[in-house]
């Protein structure tokens, strides 16, 4: 299949548990060490209510507003540097997947779409520099579009923003519900399980991809 005849023109990637290992238990442990509060209580108060989902749709609308909300829910004052340090420590890049994105960048338009608020948007260059290097200004949080995955609206909005029909777009995520939302919006989608499966899907779409190297070779 030639590039001119390839249907997919735009490939959208999730961040956590796709491009990076995402260690939420480590985040809870670090917040416990910071605050002295039980990890289960932190998890319930910060992520168990409606506030995080709202933040992922852009409420609050600023990084500063999100940080204030986070501290209020945490019941402990937290500054930007501490929040960013914890978010950075809980992530580990996946070189094989990042290398696939690097190969795709020469063959299609690419973007990042993660369910997050505006604080992570500000912090992405520090927390996920490898992703920002690849995606640049197309590194998006869901709050940029006023909706969160799996709402079909967020997929429609990112496609519209870059001028693509949903049928020209391919979405990669690790959560089944997010895949279903993308497909409802008319995108093709891949449920990420491992790098090998993603590689097979990309090749099936007609992209020229090299075989996966070992982690040590691409690190």
In the chain, which residues have pLDDT < 50? 1-2, 4-5, 216-219
CATH architecture of 3-21+92-218: 3-Layer(aba) Sandwich (3.40)
Q: What is the pLDDT of residues 175-188, one digit of tens each?
A: 999 999 999 999 99
Q: What is the pLDDT of residue 216?
A: 45
Spatial contact of 29 and 35, defined as CB atoms under 8 Å apart: no
Strands 20-22 and 10-13 turn out to be unpaired
Please state, in angstroms and rounded to a whole number, the distance separating the CA atoms of residues 52 and 205: 35
- Omega into 150 within 30° of 0, i.e. cis? yes
Q: What is the pLDDT of residue 10?
A: 98
| Angle subtended by helix axes 63-74 and 118-127, to nearest 10 | 100
- Give domain limits for the chain: 3-21+92-218, 24-89
Q: What is the pLDDT of residue 211?
A: 86
Distance of CA 20 to the CA centre of its chain: 9
Q: What is the pLDDT of residue 4?
A: 46
């Amino acid at each position: 299949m030639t590039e001119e005849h390839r249907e997919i023109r735009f490939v959208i990637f999730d961040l956590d548990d796709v491009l990076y290992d995402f260690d939420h238990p480590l985040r809870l442990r670090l917040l416990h060490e910071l605050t002295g509060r039980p990890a289960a209580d932190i998890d319930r108060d910060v992520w168990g209510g409606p506030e995080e989902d709202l933040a992922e749709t852009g409420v609050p609308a600023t990084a500063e507003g999100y940080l204030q909300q986070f501290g209020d829910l945490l019941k402990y004052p937290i500054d930007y540097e501490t929040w960013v340090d914890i978010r950075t420590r809980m992530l580990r890049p996946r070189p094989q997947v990042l290398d696939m994105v690097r190969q795709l960048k020469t063959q299609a338009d690419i973007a990042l779409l993660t369910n997050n608020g505006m604080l992570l948007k500000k912090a992405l260059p520090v927390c996920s520099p490898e992703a920002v290097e690849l995606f640049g200004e197309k590194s998006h949080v869901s709050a940029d579009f006023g909706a969160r995955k799996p709402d079909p609206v967020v997929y429609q909005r990112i496609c519209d923003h870059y001028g693509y029909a949903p049928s020209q777009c391919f979405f990669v995520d690790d959560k089944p519900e997010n895949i279903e939302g993308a497909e409802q919006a008319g995108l093709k989608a891949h449920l990420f399980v491992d790098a090998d499966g993603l590689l097979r899907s990309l090749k099936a779409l007609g992209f020229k991809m090299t075989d996966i190297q070992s982690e040590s070779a691409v690190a």
